[in-house]
Amino acid sequence: MKKLLRNKIVLPVLAVLIFFGTTAFKNDFFEIAKQIEIFTTLFKEINMNYVDDTNPGDLMDTAIKSMLSDLDPYTQFYNEQDVEASRINNAGDYTGIGAKVLTLKDKLVIVEPYQNYAADKAGLKAGDEIIKVDKVVVADFKDDAANLLQGAAGTEVSVTYKRQGKTNTVKIIRESLEIKAVPHYAMVDEKTGYVVLRKFNDKASSETIRAIKALKNQGATQLILDLRGNPGGLLNEAVNVTNIFVPKDQLVVTTKSKVKKYNKTYYTQREPIDTEIPLVVLIDGSSASASEIVSGALQDMDRAVVVGTRSFGKGLVQRPKPLTYGTQMKITISRYYTPSGRCIQALDYWNRDENGKATRTKQENYNAFKTKNGREVFDGGGVQPDIEVEFAKQTPITKAISNENLVFNFATNYYYSHKVEDLKTFEFSDSDFKKFKNYIKVSGFNFETKTEKALTDAINVAKEEELDAVISSEYNDLTEALQSYKSNAIDGNKTQLKTLLTDEIIKRYFYSEGLYTYYTANNTEIKKALDILNNPSQYASILR
């Protein structure tokens, strides 16, 4: 038995050794072979000799994830279910209940039911907490319970959920759903078209072209392309979207790697749709990857004015690699560079701080580059807008409030206690905001600043050194000042918090389509884009 097990282990190891001996890793051959042999023997000994029964699959899963956690968060291992989810994300097709779902430890929360799809037709609402799918209790399910909702179109699934303290069960017929890259486009005024591009799947450029052509037929002579909240996707689609506005054979992005075959330049391949139409691109802190390729390239070419807040700063390129038994991994293979030569990666995962966290490139270390017209742009921290809308930038406290789902949960309670019938007249009032502040207070929300944590660490060290009595007065003063700041910080971020609350509440009554309609009349960034587009001399001066 031991000999058979040994042979099963040695054969894969030999295959791996042969693979590495024929690749760019030839120089590290001995070290790689040595480490694989150490791991293989360790894995065998644990599974054969550990005092209790072990699960080899779980052990290996933990080992792989622990190893990859030392790299960057985009280098990931995918099991068979993950591979299918990735295919769905890139292709834009999906079969399930037709809802965006958040997986928590003991429940699935409906974030957004898609209008007129299965979950919506069955009466599910945002905020509903799914506790059981068919006979499976979500809290007892080890893997991502959201996978339980997926299945062949036409099949039935029983969903048990909690809403406002009551438990309900509903049967839902799964159906196919096309996830649109462009969920909305419309005329903002008589001459301005507005296109929302939410993801870069394989339909991104074709849907964007279709939207632009439709808007031009409606009289659009200038455009707003909204990439806010767009996390990216397919690199070739980012090139194709850029190609809509710039001529064929223009450099869009370059990738550079330690492996020569991954060093590539990507040029536009097609005839453009319109190289002259005035264009504003909207970005924010959640615009990443392919969104940054498009906004960065159009900025470098002086083809568009970029408006909003600094983008996320993901300048790393991944490639999927097939593994055995239907599994796969996605590996960071290179960095990408915009036409001016800048890499906009913000976080350094290879030089971490003392707490093991990736460090952020400091502004004083940014390098300057030149656009086509000679404007100065910088690397190191995402795409910096030409015109920044300061209040739209998330602060530490607004991030903390959002991460605790306080905006989402308040919107859920608001929906069941308020009647809203007219989108045009809706307003989140000051009295509503006062109720939100009270809701935060009673929720037990406790926001700890980095300064506060540093002070706590300092006083603990002072106690060890018996210096706490000496600095106690100063420490108490600083602590009181921080508490005062925290109590005033919510009011200090009132504008942004009201915007976040308004967006979430509108979706409860009018879905995402209603929110986009509301944006065209009320959103600050869109208004700023309109101001620029409707002032041709200002538009031209920014790009000069």
CA atoms within 13 A on the CB side of 178: 8
- Angle in degrees, CA 188, 194, 197, rounded to 5: 155
Tell me how far CA of residue 250 lies from CA of 269, 308, 339, 397, in angstroms: 8, 26, 9, 42
CB 301, CB 379: distance < 8 Å: no
* Polymer length in residues for the chain: 544
Pairing of the two strands 222-226 and 279-283: parallel
Tell me how far CA of residue 283 lies from CA of 182, 388, 518, 530, in angstroms: 15, 10, 18, 15
* C-alpha torsion 73→75→79→80, nearest 10: 120
Of 203, 205, 287, 289, which one is the catalytic site residue?
289
69 is catalytic: no
300 is catalytic: yes
Using DSSP's 3-state secondary structure scheme, residue 352 falls into coil
d(CA 452, CA 475): 11
Structure tokens at 191: 């001459």
Of 120, 128, 226, 300, which one is the catalytic site residue?
300
Of 107, 125, 132, 314, which one is the catalytic site residue?
314
Structure tokens at 479: 């602590």
CA atoms within 13 A on the CB side of 127: 21
d(CA 226, CA 228): 6
CB 498, CB 433: distance < 8 Å: yes
Using DSSP's 3-state secondary structure scheme, residue 42 falls into helix
Structure tokens at 110: 């409906």
CB 230, CB 200: distance < 8 Å: yes
CB 380, CB 365: distance < 8 Å: yes
Q: For CA atoms 134, 138, 140, 146, give the dihedral sign.
A: positive
Closest CA to 326 of 62, 92, 148, 86: 86
CB 185, CB 210: distance < 8 Å: no
d(CA 499, CA 274): 34
Q: For CA atoms 211, 216, 218, 222, give the dihedral sign.
A: positive
Pairing of the two strands 264-267 and 251-256: antiparallel
> Per DSSP, what are the bridge partners of residue 129?
109, 162
Using DSSP's 3-state secondary structure scheme, residue 477 falls into helix
Instruction: Provide the annotated active-site residues.
Output: 289, 300, 314
